[in-house]
Chains A and B, each alone.
Chain A
Amino acid sequence: AQSVTQPDIHITVSEGASLELRCNYSYGATPYLFWYVQSPGQGLQLLLKYFSGDTLVQGIKGFEAEFKRSQSSFNLRKPSVHWSDAAEYFCAVGVAGATNKLIFGTGTLLAVQP
């Protein structure tokens, strides 16, 4: 069965430091992968997505993610974190078929220290 694992429940980084959020997936075919961000009290916003092609994907707000098939990973990165990046981040895998269902990880809560 498809699944997504985000091993880090909470991460704290200093403002200006680099960030990497981990995501591992289990899926039998070529995965469609997504990263969403959720600010407190808000809905989810798409940061970036990977379907095929270049394994390094650029997203909004300066985020990028790299798809590594050999490691079943799709880690999210940002070279310099801003205080406004404090939020919860969700990785998701799309289930193949005509219904576009997503399987979400449990999320990583990012805190940013001044």
Chain B
Amino acid sequence: DAGITQSPRHKVTETGTPVTLRCHQTENHRYMYWYRQDPGHGLRLIHYSYGVKDTDKGEVSDGYSVSRSKTEDFLLTLESATSSQTSVYFCAISGTSGGSTDTQYFGPGTRLTVL
């Protein structure tokens, strides 16, 4: 299994509070991704990174920001959490050539509940 960890694994928070989720990899892969998984929607890309300090938006980026100051860490921040952001969040990495044929490897997920 690829060396990907996510923290926390579970979090309950209140509407309006900031939340930061962390993804940490030990594979030295260049690309990192944040997805959210919701019933009936599959996985949807929130943001991705193609290098340190290089990030871009995915299809559901509103309300989320990301940062990547080191190769191994990719942070997802909900500036002011809303109930619609209750979801399971997955981090993924891919790596070598960066082309569309690279396999993405997924972390174990973080279950976030916003009350």
Q: A42-B108, A99-B48 are in contact. Are A104 and B101 (CB under 8 A)?
A: no
One of A6, A51, A102, A107 near B104 (C-beta < 8 A): A102
Q: A98-B50, A102-B45, A106-B41 are in contact. Are A44 and B106 (CB under 8 A)?
A: yes
The answer to whether A90 touches B42, judged by C-beta atoms less than 8 angstroms apart, is: yes
Total number of B residues with any Cβ neighbor in A under 8 Å: 29
Main secondary structure, interface of B, reads strand
A-B residue pairs in contact (CB < 8 Å), sample of 24:
A6-B42, A32-B100, A32-B101, A34-B103, A36-B106, A42-B108, A43-B4, A43-B107, A44-B92, A45-B106, A49-B103, A90-B42, A94-B101, A96-B100, A97-B100, A98-B50, A99-B50, A100-B102, A101-B48, A102-B45, A102-B104, A106-B41, A106-B42, A107-B42
Question: Taking beta carbons and an 8 Å cutoff, which residues of B are in contact with A?
Answer: 4, 31, 33, 35, 40-45, 48, 50, 56, 58, 90, 92, 94, 98-109
